[in-house]
Amino acid sequence: MAEEMRRDERVFLMGEEVAEYNGAYKVSQGMVEEFGPRRIVDAPISETGFSGLGVGAAMYGLRPIIEFMSWSFCLVAADQIINNAPKMLYMSGGQFGCPAVFRGNNGAGGQLGSTHSWSVESMFSSVPGLKMAIPSTPRDAKGLLKSSIRAEDPVFFLESERMLGFGARGDKDFSRYLHANGNGGPTWAPPAPEDDDNFLIPFGQAEVKKSGTDCTVVAFGRPVHFALEAAEQLEKEGIDVEVIDPRTVRPLDIDTIIESVKKTHYCVVVDQSWPFASVAAEVGMQVYENALDHLDNKVIRVNNDDVPAPYSRALEQEALPHARKIVEAVRAVTYNA
């Protein structure tokens, strides 16, 4: 964000606690000292108000970054972010665009209860006129966010609270990947380049995080790491899994997924939102539409359990997608159960 603000004076950040408190998760640490309170703006607890302000600012030529402390809190701003922002260019006959980035934490953050643990990708990705990015690594987060800020369309940028300290606090879920090569990161997650104004990752370009021949596993966001952990376990059983991270849901790079399915003939889709009408359901349907003759079994989805997020740590972890569920799905779909 700081690089893009230095590059373009139209960019500003607004949200709860982003300035004086340096961000609820210290994402904007030091930015108010560099850019001042006119560009790093503390907002009241009113997502309806400050997201609407962001839409208006974007219509008049600025490039706002609107931070939701949690995407769970965006629901009160639904009229602004999904009924106005994505439709503005169309409704105005091309007179007003809305180049705004709405970003914040998505999914269960760790014992925050059901109302603070929403995964909103399935709810919002069906809306035409917006882009949606869900990074799984620091490198992808940087490249996609810079592309988001420069985009002419509204972008929903879904981060994971559980990964904000990625590589810093030694989270047990990812520590062995982070230190796999002895250089702070695995080969599939190189560090984000520093001070590179032109490091952009285009939307609609999936990345093969791990090549394989026996089963395609599609995952995005935090579940990518669980898919890679599952692939590591399955490799010991002689099952060579290919892990694909779409990185963006809108647009979706279905071509990369289809090419993989044509090679492996099996497909598992991992998605941290609920199963009914989920992104996983859409990906699975597109696989059927484009590669049915290449499938040797049905597509299996691994979703969050179809229940409100539990508060109990043990129950929450069990309800979410994790490596064991993915391993079981791959075994089942490849007839190795």
pLDDT surpassing 60 at residue 176: no
Task: Quickly count: other Cβ atoms within 10 Å of residue 114's Cβ.
Answer: 14
pLDDT value, residue 184: 41
Q: How confident is the model at residue 190 (pLDDT cuts 50, 70, 90)?
A: low
Per-residue pLDDT of 97-117, as tens digits, reads 999 999 999 988 778 888 888
**In angstroms, how far is the first alpha carbon of the chain from the final one?**
46
Q: Which of 204, 322, 212, 210 is nearest to 266 (CA)?
A: 212
Per-residue pLDDT of 8-55, as tens digits, reads 999 999 999 999 999 988 999 999 999 999 999 999 999 999 999 999
Residue bearing tokens 């093969």: 208
Please tell me the distance from the alpha carbon of residue 24 to that of residue 69, in angstroms, as a whole number. Answer: 7
Torsion of the alpha carbons at 25, 30, 32 and 34, rounded to the nearest 10: -150
47 is catalytic: yes
pLDDT value, residue 177: 47
Q: In terms of CATH, what superfamily is 2-163? A: Thiamin diphosphate (ThDP)-binding fold, Pyr/PP domains (3.40.50.970)
Q: How far is CA 222 from the centre of its chain?
A: 8
Catalytic residue from among 3, 4, 67, 116: 116
Give the residue extent of every domain in the chain: 2-163, 198-333
**pTM of the entire predicted model:** 0.91
Averaged confidence pLDDT in the chain? 91
Q: How many CA atoms lie within 13 A of 226 on its CB side?
A: 29
Handedness of CA 263, 264, 266, 268 (dihedral sign): negative
pLDDT surpassing 70 at residue 183: no
What CATH fold (topology level) applies to the domain 198-333? Rossmann fold (3.40.50)
Catalytic residue from among 3, 4, 16, 47: 47
265 is catalytic: no
Distant-in-sequence, close-in-space partners of 299: CB < 8 Å, separation ≥ 6: 267, 268, 269, 284, 287, 288, 333
**What mean pLDDT comes out for the span 190-199?**
73
For residue 255, the SS3 value is: helix
